[in-house]
Amino acid sequence: MNGSIGMNSDSISEAVEAAARHLVAVRRVGDSSFVSLPMYYPDGSSVTVRVRRCEGGVSVSDAGFAYEEVADIGAGRSFGRVAGNLSKLADVEVLGHVIRVHAPMEELERAIYDVASTSWRVADEIFRRAEEVDEDTVAEELRSRLVKVFGAAKLREDHKVVGASTNQWEVSAILDTRGAATVFQAVPNHAVSIYRASTAFRDIADLPNPPKLVAVVRNKVELGPKLTLLSQNARVIELEQSDEEFERAAA
Amino acid sequence: MAFPTVVLAEKSIAVFPGWSVPEKGSGAVWFDAPLEIGGVVEPGLVLHGTALLYAPDCNVALELVARGTLTRKRIPLTRIDWRSLRGGHSNQRGRNCGEWSRVRVGHTHIHPFDMNWVVQEERMRGVNLPCAKPIDRALHTFEDVSAYSGKELRINNIDIVTRPKWDYDLFDERVDWNE
């Protein structure tokens, strides 16, 4: 009875079987069968392959769905290169915007898996890069700016600082001026980036002889209350501020 | 213009460019129609549509897209998926999709702006509208989807978007969408 703690084993079996049936779905449209699998693209839609008969067996493709996923966020140009590399690993091919394979009928299951997993990996790789690239872009712009203001010779090649906790932090740039070091960190306006930078700054500030710390953001006003958090252990300037202001921040 | 303002504003399609030629490999067709607000075409703001030419009366997406940054060129704001051949959408754990978190929604659903906008941080959640919920009415035709999308996306002349030039094979089996 459902009033008792937990379900009995028959109920659990039925629930598991029902869940398993729903994990894979097949829908027929025209001459094609669309098989949706229990794998999800980064935005939550099911990885789905299209299966059709062809000479010698079956054609299995992702119907261009991985391309559609990444084109939707303006990353369609990355598709060719990423799909080309990943499809070689699975021995499938890329035709235009489609990942596909032709296989004999007896290899249908394997073909479905290989196309689906490649399609998922392509979308996952490109989405992951899209999430990372914001921080990388701000850091690159910062480094270019620092070279212009201070000269390349004053920037260390090493980007790592060990904090008081002995944790090693990767930072955007380390400047050496008059025997003292200044750490510059590009901080995009994302909560995760801000919290990570604040934690790093606190750890580095606790060193016996800490370097100067400067957070570089796109817009101080847009940070709102998080500006207070960031400024607890670091000076905060904007990427577009003047060369003199950069020099003052490092002084 | 801030995204919430864009989403709430009354919009018009400035020009419907027609559906593209089908992509060679996938048979996909699409369009980007620039949108205007108050008679002014907003840079990068488009109604984006996709369909498959060989799969009539299904797999249509209509989406409001804003111009992104240098690094992310397109930012989807709201999307309606109709009879998606990908079988539906799964709202992930910990994605803050409210009552729809961890729920799988069916082939016809909406990714609403307010479920995918993080108010406190003034940014979109994730990269491509990770939260979705079912649509509360049956949409049987392309025109039904178009009308519904016009209302949700606040586009007052969406009827100028024509249906894709689908191939209807008389011998096609009728697909049961359980609507």
Judge whether A3 lies within some domain: no
Judge whether B102 lies within some domain: yes
Judge whether B167 lies within some domain: no
Judge whether A213 lies within some domain: yes
How far apart are the C-alpha atoms of B141 and B147, rounded to whole Å?
Answer: 10
The ipTM (two decimal places) reads 0.86
The tally of domains found in chain B comes to 1
pLDDT digits (tens, 9 = 90+) for A60-114: 999 999 999 999 888 899 999 999 999 999 999 999 999 999 999 999 999 999 9
Which of B30, B67, B101, B127 is the mutation pick for testing A, counting most A CBs within 10 A?
Answer: B127
Judge whether B15 lies within some domain: yes
Given a cut of 50, whether residue A4 has pLDDT beyond it is no
In chain A, alpha helices (H): 9-23, 65-71, 79-90, 108-150, 191-205, 220-223, 226-230, 243-250
Cβ-based neighbours of A169, under 8 Å, separated by 6 or more = A160, A161, A162, A163, A200, A203, A204
Q: Do B175 and A130 touch (CB under 8 A)?
A: no
The tally of domains found in chain A comes to 2
| Pair B102, B69: CB distance under 8 Å | no
Comparing CB atoms, the residue among A43, A95, A191 nearest residue B128 is A43
- Final residue in a domain of this structure, among A131, A161, A180: A131
Judge whether A1 lies within some domain: no
pLDDT digits (tens, 9 = 90+) for A7-44: 677 789 999 998 888 889 999 998 999 999 999 998 78
Judge whether A136 lies within some domain: no
Domain that holds residue A110: 9-131
Mean of all residue pLDDT scores within chain A? 88
Judge whether A139 lies within some domain: no
- H helix or E strand, kind and range, residue B146: helix B142-153
- H helix or E strand, kind and range, residue B145: helix B142-153
Greatest mean pLDDT range, A171-180, B23-32, B119-128: B23-32
Residues A124 and A158 in one domain: no
Q: Which residues of chain B are within 8 Å of residue A65 when distances are taken between CB atoms? A: 86
Which residues, listed in sequence order, are joined to residue B170 by a DSSP beta bridge? none
Q: What is the pLDDT of residue B70?
A: 52
Find the mean pLDDT for residues B161-168.
92
Given a cut of 80, whether residue A140 has pLDDT beyond it is no
Residues A158 and A200 in one domain: yes
- Final residue in a domain of this structure, among A131, A161, A196: A131
pLDDT digits (tens, 9 = 90+) for B33-91: 999 999 999 988 999 999 999 999 999 999 999 977 555 678 899 999 999 999 889 99
Q: Which amino acid is at A248?
A: R
Max CA pair span of chain A: 78
Judge whether B172 lies within some domain: no
Domain that holds residue B147: 3-159
Range 81-140 of A in CB contact (< 8 A) with B: 95-98, 100, 127, 130-131, 133-134, 137
Judge whether A144 lies within some domain: no
Judge whether B148 lies within some domain: yes
Judge whether A142 lies within some domain: no
Judge whether B90 lies within some domain: yes
Q: What is the pLDDT of residue B151?
A: 97
| Pair B66, B45: CB distance under 8 Å | yes
How far apart are the C-alpha atoms of A32 and A114, rounded to whole Å?
Answer: 18
Residues A184 and A104 in one domain: no
Residues A230 and A176 in one domain: yes
Q: What is the pLDDT of residue A49?
A: 97
Residues A201 and A96 in one domain: no
- How distant is the Cα of B147 from the closest Cα of chain A, in angstroms? 22
**Window from A150-164, B6-20, B47-61, B163-177 with minimum mean pLDDT:** B163-177
